[in-house]
Amino acid sequence: MSAPEIIKKSDGLIDRRILVANLMHDRSDDLLVVAGLGSPCYDLMAAGDHPLNFYLWGAMGGAVPMAIGLAAAQPTKRVLALTGDGEVLMGLTGLAAAGAEGLDNLVVIVLDNGRYGETGQQLTHTARGVDLVQTAVGLGFKSTRRIDSTEEATELRDWMQSVQGPAFAAVHISPEAAGMSLPPQDGAFLKTRFREYLGMPPR
């Protein structure tokens, strides 16, 4: 089966749920994913649960710095921080650490809808003139992309697997809510499941 075709919603912006399903299509065990709280977690869960997914239900701003520690610990794996604009705006310092640390296996993809989806669709700063891609350039990311079209979005999966990190992409997605696909909430379970799958037995 081929990867699902990325489409736009009626507002002319990319459908987040299909985008993430496309990114996760036929994934290998060499991909480790940390998802920022809220809709990125639901998108990742909807694409299919996997032991190498770590879903944050809180710790806002923590997705990128958590991915730094994971990427440093697992240099032969690809580590993806999949998060939203609101989450990453709370942790811009984590982008600075990622740029400075220079881990070549670290990729950050921001699903940027310009909204705080969990709290009533208030505008985030990306809808008020803040440019995350330029921010990532300035903070030392080696490769950066701004994705607006479905053609560019379709290239993202290969890019994410092969680009030399630290790499950053912001995808301009539709603010239309995609529904809650709730991942497991037990953090200790998620942690132990992830570590066990990497070959570390529970203590």
* Residues near another protein, by CB under 8 A: 32, 34, 54, 56-63, 65-74, 77, 91, 93-94, 96-97, 100-101, 187-188, 190-191, 194-195, 198, 200, 203
Residue 56 CB, shortest distance to another protein, in Å, is: 7
Residue 124 CB, shortest distance to another protein, in Å, is: 19
Concatenate the DSSP letters of all residues of the chain into one string: -PPPPP-B-TTSSB-HHHHHHHHHTT--TTEEEEE-TTHHHHHHHHT---TTEEE-SS-TT-HHHHHHHHHHH-TTSEEEEEEEHHHHHHTHHHHHHHHHHT-TTEEEEEEE-SEETTTT-EE-GGGGT--HHHHHHHTT-SEEEEE-SHHHHHHHHHHHHH--SSEEEEEEB--S-----PPP--HHHHHHHHHHHTT----
Between 36 and 117, whose beta carbon lies closer to another protein? 36
Residue 44 CB, shortest distance to another protein, in Å, is: 15
Residue 75 CB, shortest distance to another protein, in Å, is: 9
Between 61 and 117, whose beta carbon lies closer to another protein? 61
Residue 3 CB, shortest distance to another protein, in Å, is: 27
Between 62 and 117, whose beta carbon lies closer to another protein? 62
Between 7 and 100, whose beta carbon lies closer to another protein? 100
Residue 161 structure tokens: 């697997």
- In the block, residue with structure tokens 């700063």: 125
Between 137 and 177, whose beta carbon lies closer to another protein? 137
Residue 173 structure tokens: 């997605």
Between 19 and 32, whose beta carbon lies closer to another protein? 32
Residue 83 CB, shortest distance to another protein, in Å, is: 12
**64/109 Cα distance (integer angstroms):** 10
- In the block, residue with structure tokens 């994934």: 27
